Each structure stands twice: as C-alpha cells, then as structure tokens.
C-alpha cells in the first residue's frame, strides 16, 4: 500500500514550452502533497506544499507563476513548468501525506513518487 506514481518519468522539451507533471496517490487519499526538486549530487529541496482545494504554499525563491501547482482532488496534484528553460532541467519529486491518521499512518509520513526527469533543450 501507500503507492505514489508520477507521470511522465522522463520528459524532454524545447525551451519556451510548458510541461505538466502528474502526481497520484494510488491507494490512499492525500490531503497534502509536496513537490521537491533535486539537483545532481544535492539534496531534495522543497518547492511547494499543496493542499487539496486550496492554493499551494511556495517556498522562498520559488516562482509561483513559473511552477503552477494544482491539487484538484485528494489523489492528484499537478506541477506545470511554464515557459521552461534549460536551467529548469532537474529531477522533480512529489510526495503525499495520507488524509486520515486513523488509516494507520500519521500525518508526518510522506510517501514519495519515483520522480520525473525534466530536460529542457
């Protein structure tokens, strides 16, 4: 149980185009989903926290107009990189926290997706 999927796993796009990455919790409902970015040989950096039905909270230094996050349901969050540029090339990882502690999992538990490798040419 507690599986999180991401689609696509890899994407290559041209500079100036927009790319959408989906994050789905497959067997649980997620009140909160998180988006991280990982540079080579570096840590995961939190970009934003999204709660179902409300606006995402972005970390300092993350452009909300460039990285659009939508969390329209309890099982799906999307990250859209708008007008992508080569410096946006990175590994994007999402995670999800279960909806209810009574499901046997505390709210401090995050289940991670396998990541999406974005390359902008």
Q: Are strands 116-120 and 10-13 parallel, antiparallel or unpaired?
A: parallel
How far apart are the C-alpha atoms of 67 and 42, rounded to whole Å? 20
Q: Which is nearer to another protein, 15 or 109 (CB)?
A: 109
Structure tokens at 38: 């990982």
Structure tokens at 22: 């989906």
Task: Determine, following the binding rule CB under 8 A, whether residue 77 of this chain makes contact with another protein.
Answer: no
Task: Determine, following the binding rule CB under 8 A, whether residue 111 of this chain makes contact with another protein.
Answer: yes
Task: Determine, following the binding rule CB under 8 A, whether residue 98 of this chain makes contact with another protein.
Answer: no
Considering only residues 19 to 38 of the shown chain, the ones binding another protein according to CB under 8 A are 32, 34
Task: Determine, following the binding rule CB under 8 A, whether residue 16 of this chain makes contact with another protein.
Answer: no
């Amino acid at each position: 149980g507690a599986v999180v999927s991401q689609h696509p796993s890899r994407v290559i796009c041209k500079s100036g185009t927009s790319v959408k990455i989906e994050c789905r919790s497959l067997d649980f409902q997620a009140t909160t989903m998180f988006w991280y970015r990982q540079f080579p040989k570096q840590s995961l950096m939190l970009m934003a926290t999204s709660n179902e039905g409300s606006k995402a909270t972005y970390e300092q230094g993350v452009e909300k107009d460039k990285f659009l996050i939508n969390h329209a349901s309890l099982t799906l969050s999307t990250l859209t990189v708008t007008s992508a540029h080569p410096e946006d090339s990175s590994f994007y990882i999402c995670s999800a926290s279960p909806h209810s502690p009574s499901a046997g999992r505390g709210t401090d538990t995050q289940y991670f997706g396998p990541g999406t490798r974005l390359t902008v040419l």
